[in-house]
Amino acid sequence: MKRILINLALIVTISIVWILACFFGTVNGWWHTPFTKETDPQSFVEAVEEEIQKEHVGNFAMSIIKNGEVKEEVFYSVGKQVDRNTIFQVASLSKFVSATGVMKLHEMEKIDLDTPVSKYLSRWQLPPSEFDNEQVTVRRLLSHTAGLTDGLGYSGFETPDAVQTLEASLTKAADADEGRSGETKVGIEPNSSWVYSGGGFTLLQLLVEETSGQSFDTFMKENVFAPLQMTQSTYKWSDSLGDDLCEFYNADGTKAPHFFYTSLAATSLYTSLADLEKLFMLFVKDKKGTSGRPLDQSSLSLMQEPHWEMMGEAIYGLGTFLYVDVGNDQYIIGHDGQSNPPINTALRIDPVSGDGIIILETGNPDLATRLASDWVFLKTGKVDTLLFTMLQGKMLNMMGIGVLSITVLVIAIAWWRKRKFK
Query: Which carries the bigger pLDDT value, residue 306 or residue 414?
Result: 306
How many other CB atoms are there within 10 angstroms of residue 42's CB atom?
A: 11
Q: Residue 225 — very low, low, confident or very high, per pLDDT cuts 50/70/90?
A: very high
The model's pLDDT over 369-405, given as tens digits with 9 standing for 90+, comes to 999 999 999 999 999 988 888 898 999 999 999 889 9
Phi-psi region of 328 (alpha: psi -120 to 50; beta: other; left: phi over 0): left
Q: Angle between the 93-107 and 273-282 helix axes, to the nearest 10 degrees?
A: 40
**CB neighbour list of residue 302: distance below 8 Å, 6 or more residues apart:** 103, 317, 318
Q: Annotate 74-96 with DSSP letters as a single string.
A: EEEESSS---TT-EEE-TTHHHH
pTM of the model: 0.93
Query: Which carries the bigger pLDDT value, residue 420 or residue 46?
Result: 46
| Spatial distance between the Cα atoms of 34 and 105, rounded to a whole number of angstroms | 40
Low-confidence winner among 18-32, 159-173, 208-222 (lowest mean pLDDT): 18-32
pLDDT for 410 equals 83
Q: Nearest Cα to 201, choosing from 102, 298, 115, 119?
A: 102
pLDDT for 242 equals 81
What is the rounded average pLDDT of the residues 237-248?
Answer: 88
Please give the distance of CA 89 from its chain centroid, rounded to a whole number: 14
| Spatial distance between the Cα atoms of 280 and 287, rounded to a whole number of angstroms | 10
What is the rounded average pLDDT of the residues 120-143?
Answer: 97
pLDDT for 422 equals 60
Q: Residue 85 — very low, low, confident or very high, per pLDDT cuts 50/70/90?
A: very high
The model's pLDDT over 113-126, given as tens digits with 9 standing for 90+, comes to 999 999 999 999 99
What is the rounded average pLDDT of the residues 78-98?
Answer: 96
Contact present, 380 and 324 (Cβ < 8 Å) = yes
pLDDT for 50 equals 94
Low-confidence winner among 155-164, 238-247, 303-312 (lowest mean pLDDT): 238-247
What is the rounded average pLDDT of the residues 8-28?
Answer: 89
**CB neighbour list of residue 34: distance below 8 Å, 6 or more residues apart:** 374, 377, 378
pLDDT for 288 equals 56
| Spatial distance between the Cα atoms of 347 and 277, rounded to a whole number of angstroms | 10
**CB neighbour list of residue 134: distance below 8 Å, 6 or more residues apart:** 116, 118
Question: Does the pLDDT value for residue 3 go beyond 80?
Answer: no
Contact present, 163 and 237 (Cβ < 8 Å) = no
Question: Does the pLDDT value for residue 82 go beyond 60?
Answer: yes
The reply to whether omega before 365 is within 30° of 0 (cis) is no
What is the rounded average pLDDT of the residues 102-106?
Answer: 97
> What Rg do the C-alpha atoms of the chain give, in angstroms?
24
Query: Which carries the bigger pLDDT value, residue 141 or residue 421?
Result: 141
Mean pLDDT of the chain: 93
Indicate where the chain has its CATH 3.40.710.10 domain(s): 58-382
pLDDT for 343 equals 96
Q: Using the Cα atoms of residue 316, residue 272, residue 224 and residue 201 in order, give the sign of their dihedral.
A: negative
Q: Residue 154 — very low, low, confident or very high, per pLDDT cuts 50/70/90?
A: very high
- The percent of residues above 70 in pLDDT, for the chain, comes to 98
Question: Does the pLDDT value for residue 419 go beyond 80?
Answer: no
The model's pLDDT over 325-371, given as tens digits with 9 standing for 90+, comes to 998 889 999 999 999 999 999 999 999 999 999 999 999 999 999 99
Q: Residue 421 — very low, low, confident or very high, per pLDDT cuts 50/70/90?
A: low
pLDDT for 237 equals 87
Q: Quick one: fold of 58-382?
A: Beta-lactamase (3.40.710)
What is the rounded average pLDDT of the residues 173-184?
Answer: 92
Q: Annotate 352-366 with DSSP letters as a single string.
A: TT--EEEEEEES-SS
| Spatial distance between the Cα atoms of 247 and 87, rounded to a whole number of angstroms | 9
**For residue 239, how many C-alpha atoms fall within 13 Å in the half-sphere facing its CB?**
1
Q: What single-letter amino acid sits at 354?
A: G
Beta strand residue intervals within 52-210, DSSP E: 59-66, 69-77, 87-89
- Residue 322 DSSP SS3: strand
**DSSP for residue 400:** H
Q: Nearest Cα to 245, choosing from 366, 160, 95, 360?
A: 360
The model's pLDDT over 263-316, given as tens digits with 9 standing for 90+, comes to 999 999 999 999 999 999 999 987 655 557 899 999 999 999 999 998 888 999
Question: Does the pLDDT value for residue 88 go beyond 90?
Answer: yes
Q: Residue 416 — very low, low, confident or very high, per pLDDT cuts 50/70/90?
A: confident
pLDDT for 291 equals 56
| Spatial distance between the Cα atoms of 170 and 183, rounded to a whole number of angstroms | 6
